[in-house]
Structure 1
Amino acid sequence: MASDHPSTVRVGILVFPGCVRSAAVVPHDVFELANRVQSARPVRGRVAFDAVWVSARPGRSIEIDGLRFAVSPANVAQLDALIVPGVEHADAQSLSTVLAALAPEQSLLRKAARNGLHILAGCSATCLVAQSGLLDGRRATTSWWLAGFCRSHFPLVALQPEEILLQDGPFVSAAGLTSYFDLALWLVGRRAGADLRQLIARMLLLEQRSIGQTPYATTAALPGHGPVVMERAQRWLVAHVDKPWTVAALAQHCHTSERTLLRRFNEVLGCSPVKYMQQLRVDRAKRLLESTLISLEDVATRCGYQDVATLQRVFRKLAGVPLGEYRVRFGIRR
């Protein structure tokens, strides 16, 4: 006999010192909206999302930069899913220190995994789940600018940073901070159906981001890091992004051999100088497509290419979409 009460999905949103506040609030608001939208539905067809802030630490509240969360003890036996907010940190290099201080949260994550909960994490929270050892041998994604950190610190994770949302077994990982909308909507869709998920997405003005993270990435434009020779090389390449160049000329400028330069690039950036320059030129093309209405021929010239066809080939490979489609999606309106 069907129940006269809605089925309930119990969701814990893990709050901890230094977590990203919006990542703890956004899923809660999405689930509240899902509950309100269903209020007109027959009781037997409803799925109630009972979202609560939980903690792995003692105490009834946690304050994060002036925002106080009333938390309950994280009893995984009473939950169906656990959402892990991102981890605040100054930069990628300091993230490992922050993660090491979150031992109680890592212990809770391992317990949640043993109890079969869905564990949802986005952005730097993927690193926290990986630090717990739960993603070894599994596919996962994170924000594109953390890909290098993840690969160097968690080599056993099958990282796919081009994806915005990725499920592998009970683990669901997502990209940047706004992907916490995607994580909450994923759970709504899984437990209450695709129709409700799509309705909530429309109400939140969220589109289906099927093209992944690649068009958003500007990895080559991140601040220089690594040995002095690398910072010198990166600055020189930025200055020559619209000019002819050679690896030999770059090595000469850096007062090193081509062989040493290639090794340094591979160690620090995981790519060759040629590939790095391609990334720089694609980054410039993105900015031009976003902010100007100049012709594609002019875009190619300003990016150091003699013809549009060559730029188109490189752009589609690195950005994941053609030049024209990128301009339509991200460019200014005529």
Structure 2
Amino acid sequence: MSKLAPKGDYLFAMPSYGYTKMANPRMGETLRAARNRFANLVGMDTGAWLLAKAGLLDGLRATIHWDEITSFMETFPEVHVVEDRYVVEKGTATCGGASTAFELTLELIRQEHSPMFALEIAALFMHGDKLEMQNPLERWSTDTLVRSATTLMRRTIEVPLSIPGLASKLRTNQRTLEKRFQNEMNMTPLSVYKGIRLREARRLVELSTLSIAEIAARCGYQNTSAMIRAFRQEFGVPPGHCRHHD
């Protein structure tokens, strides 16, 4: 009995060195066949070369490791080559190297799941410098107002600002802030603020020995019961279920 060909949401190609030898007719046939079984093909580092050689990037925007940009442009004129750190097109994605592979992965997580989940993953891996670790959204959000707002949210977890107050500190108005958050994250500023506070609460529940009441206070909840209700609504379980016991 023959084995079923694998299929899935994503297929990642990352050949690194020796990619020109790998870009042979057999590889092209394999990748073109995979196009019918995988919703998305991703070329990491020099993986874009394999996809382009197979004709899978024709007419699309793509990037590659910057050392190979010129050669890539000359070899595949039918590909719209850009010097971006990563490029996401419908059904394909490409990036330039090691650090950009992580940035691309965050973007795919953001698109497949949510900006809040991508924000958590970035923080978990301590992605970026000190400021970006406080607000990993800055690595891939293109809206400067949203970036500034989420940074301010993270700095005011214990004593949360009202949304009008937040807007005022950012020298804008609530309506503009709401619109920009909706466009960038498909969420309201209040929902993002709440999500940031509750994720900090979960982190403290999992990693500290602070009481639930202390955690609630540190995350801007004057009423412990209110934090527990919000926590359950956000994560599906009460805080106690996330606490690690020795």
TM-score, scaled to structure 2 = 0.55
AA aligned opposite 1:240: T
**2:55 paired residue number:** 104
Residues 284, 303 of structure 1: 8 Å contact kept: yes
**1:131 paired residue number:** 91
CA distance in 1, matches of 2:157, 2:163: 13
Residues 119, 136 of structure 2: 8 Å contact kept: no
Structure 1 pair 216–75 and aligned structure 2 pair: CA distance change class (3 A) = closer
Structure 1 pair 227–324 and aligned structure 2 pair: CA distance change class (3 A) = same
Question: Can you list the C-alpha shifts for 1:68-91, whole angstroms capped at 9, x where unaligned?
Answer: 979845469x99x9467873569x
**2:2 paired residue number:** 8
Q: CA deviation at 1:244?
A: 3.6
CA distance in 2, matches of 1:131, 1:249: 41
Residues 109, 118 of structure 2: 8 Å contact kept: no
Map 1:1-334 → 2, pairs under 5 A:
7-11=1-5, 19-20=12-13, 63-65=15-17, 72=26, 74=29, 82=37, 87=42, 104-105=55-56, 131=91, 146=108, 148-149=110-111, 161=113, 218=120, 222-224=136-138, 225-327=141-243, 331=244, 333-334=245-246
Residues 215, 320 of structure 1: 8 Å contact kept: no
SS at match of 1:19: strand
Q: CA deviation at 1:145?
A: 5.6
Residues 149, 166 of structure 2: 8 Å contact kept: yes
**1:39 paired residue number:** none
CA distance in 2, matches of 1:103, 1:144: 26
Instruction: Give identity over the alignment, percent.
Output: 21
Q: CA deviation at 1:301?
A: 1.0
CA distance in 1, matches of 2:40, 2:180: 35
Question: Can you list the C-alpha shifts for 1:183-229, whole angstroms capped at 9, x where unaligned?
Answer: xxxxxxxxxxxxxxxxxxxxxxxxxxxxxxx9897279532223332
Structure 1 pair 70–272 and aligned structure 2 pair: CA distance change class (3 A) = closer
Residues 198, 231 of structure 2: 8 Å contact kept: yes
CA distance in 1, matches of 2:239, 2:216: 10
**1:177 paired residue number:** none
CA distance in 1, matches of 2:197, 2:204: 11
AA aligned opposite 2:144: V
CA distance in 1, matches of 2:163, 2:144: 17
AA aligned opposite 2:5: V
Equivalent residues, number: 181
CA distance in 1, matches of 2:143, 2:18: 39
Structure 1 regions of 5+ residues with no counterpart? 1-6, 22-62, 91-96, 108-126, 133-142, 151-160, 163-213
**1:58 paired residue number:** none
CA distance in 1, matches of 2:237, 2:200: 15
**Which has more helix, going by share of residues?**
2
CA distance in 2, matches of 1:284, 1:325: 16
Structure 2 regions of 5+ residues with no counterpart? 59-87, 93-104, 124-134
